[in-house]
Amino acid sequence: MAASSRRDWLRAAARSVLQLGATPALLTACASFERAGRFVSAEGLVLPWQRVGSRHIVVVGALDDPAPENGGTSGNVGLIIGRSASVAVNGGSSAAHGRALLALARELGAAPVRAAVVTQPLPQQVMGLAAFDDAGLPICATDGTAQWIAARCGTCLERLRATLGAERMAGTRIVVPALRPPADGVWQVGDLLLRLPRVGHAAGPDDLVLHDAADGVSWAGALGEVGRLPDLRDADPLALAPAIEALADTPARWVLPDHGPPGPPSALRGAADYVRALEREVRRGLDDGKGLNELLRAVTLPAWSGWVGHDRWHRRNVQAMVLRLEGRALDEDVMPG
């Protein structure tokens, strides 16, 4: 899908969902959860959580990658709690993380978790899926995400085991989601009426976002990075900024990013601005005849130097952008700049 039509389509989908069935009854029927809390799982994982809207619980994880210092709980996972059913959003970075999220749902007295949804095949979204699979819960993801998990996440698991240790990763295995988003994008789980528009290849190979019209809350997955540089390793660098901008334009009251605090949709723009600036600088360098080595040195984007990951994956992002522009030049018979 072309970037402009993808953007228009995403906007339209978001608008339609936010007009979809936002009944006062639903809004007032929400559970009376506390605004925030701190849950310690039986396995010792600390989950600081907060309520967003009336029925979304987000467990705000570390901005950095999974590491022993953060107990492996990188990134945000959460729950959408209806009257008759709850849904988990992303699985966490280990089976223990996934189990902790399910335990948090019980602790909060939430309606039973009936399904989990995975927005991208990233470690913090995928590695905890064994907990949901063990509980017999269906896991929903796009075709592209499921295929990617099957093909590539095994290596990722090995690396994560080496990083976090066998004890922290006990019971963690690769689970390939079997459930696909409905073709019309409307997903009903118990009384929860959610919209799962498929974005395509942007942040990951086949992105999914989740809108809850009734509550005015959207889950951005890896299209939402706040205070942390987007990692373009598996992204389509040319599709990412338009996709983020489309999400930033949604009329939701809250957007829950993959990393960073919940906020208004406009909070996503910083990451889009970074990708735009990266594309602009790399194009300029290519036009000037710079090679990859030179571009890696020249494109520094210091305005984002305070963001987590700038010191570690910004250069990799430069390389990803160069390769994407060159790939486009070959595919479309245009110049790479």
Partner 1 sequence: MCPVEPDPVAGLAPAWPPSAAPAASAARSRRRVLWHAGLIAGGAVLAALAPVSTLAQIKSGDNPDASPNWLKIRASLFGERQIAAAEAGVLQLETPVRAEDAAVVPVGVRTRLPVGGEHHLQKLWLIIDNNPSPVAAVFDFTPQSGRADLETRVRIDEYTHVRAVAQLSDGRLMMATNFVKASGGCSAPPGKDQAAAMASLGRMKLRVEGDVAANQPVQAQLMVSHPNNSGLAMDQLTRQYTPAHYVRTIDVRYAGEPVLKADLDISISENPNLRFYFVPRTAGELTAHIVDSKDLSFDGGLKIQPAAL
Q: Which residues bind partner 1 (CB under 8 A)?
A: 147, 150-152, 154-155, 233, 289, 291-293, 296, 315-316, 318-319, 323, 326-327, 329-331, 333, 335-336
Closest distance of CB 271 from partner 1, Å: 19
Closest distance of CB 323 from partner 1, Å: 7
Residues 6+ apart with CB under 8 A from 159: none
Q: Which helix or strand (DSSP H or E) is residue 280 part of?
A: helix 269-287
Q: Which two tokens stand for residue 233?
A: 């390793």
Closest distance of CB 280 from partner 1, Å: 20
Task: Read off the DSSP letter of residue 112.
Answer: P
> Judging by DSSP bridges, how do beta strands 46-52 and 36-40 pair with one another?
antiparallel
| 3-class SS of residue 332 | helix
Residue 191 corresponds to which amino acid? D
Smaller CB separation from partner 1, 65 or 245: 65
Q: What angle do CA 32, 39, 141 make, to 5 degrees?
A: 80
Smaller CB separation from partner 1, 109 or 327: 327
Smaller CB separation from partner 1, 83 or 316: 316
Q: Rg of the Cα trace of the chain?
A: 19
Smaller CB separation from partner 1, 214 or 232: 232
Closest distance of CB 281 from partner 1, Å: 16
User: What CA dihedral angle connects 179, 183, 186 and 190, to 10 degrees?
Assistant: -40
- 283-308 core/surface letters (b: 16 or more CB in 10 A; e: else): bebbeeebeeeebbeebebeebeebb
User: What CA dihedral angle connects 209, 13, 185 and 194, to 10 degrees?
Assistant: 70
Smaller CB separation from partner 1, 184 or 331: 331
Smaller CB separation from partner 1, 27 or 238: 238
Closest distance of CB 147 from partner 1, Å: 7
Task: Read off the DSSP letter of residue 252.
Answer: -
State the CB neighbour count (10 A cutoff) for residue 227. Answer: 16
Q: Which two tokens stand for residue 7?
A: 């953007």
Closest distance of CB 331 from partner 1, Å: 6
Smaller CB separation from partner 1, 56 or 310: 310
Closest distance of CB 152 from partner 1, Å: 6
